[in-house]
Copies of this chain bind each other. A is one copy, B any other.
């Protein structure tokens, strides 16, 4: 029982930590695309990611990846500064072009929201990418 209470307290501490120390919205979008549309879909994804990061201050990261073992499985790491940034993002013309243009290409879509384990280490971690 003590273990359970400690465990629940720990979970709350993770959540509180993620929420109070960072309002960022972090998501892994899991997308399965119909094979016949893969090329076209990836072009859309590439465009919307690049435009969003470039033009929207609150879009911190949109990083699309393709599974090596199944190229119809796309994963996108998305980081928004906060919920407002996300809400504003999904109303932009470039997001709407992507969304409406790819609806028939997507077989499965699962938006999986995440807590970062080290919210404050993010800068430090990704800063290394600058030099790659």
Interface residues on A, range: 35 or more
Give A74's nearest chain B residue, CB to CB: B117
Contact check, A65 vs B6: say whether CB atoms are below 8 A apart.
no
Chain B residues contacting A79 (CB-CB under 8 Å) are 129
A20-B36 Cα distance, complex, nearest whole Å: 26
User: Which positions 1-58 of chain A face chain B at CB distance < 8 Å?
Assistant: 3, 6-7, 10-11, 14, 24, 26, 28, 35-36, 38-39, 42, 45-46, 49-50, 53-54
Residues of A within 8 A of B (CB): 3, 6-7, 10-11, 14, 24, 26, 28, 35-36, 38-39, 42, 45-46, 49-50, 53-54, 59-69, 71, 75, 77, 79, 81, 112-118, 121-130, 132
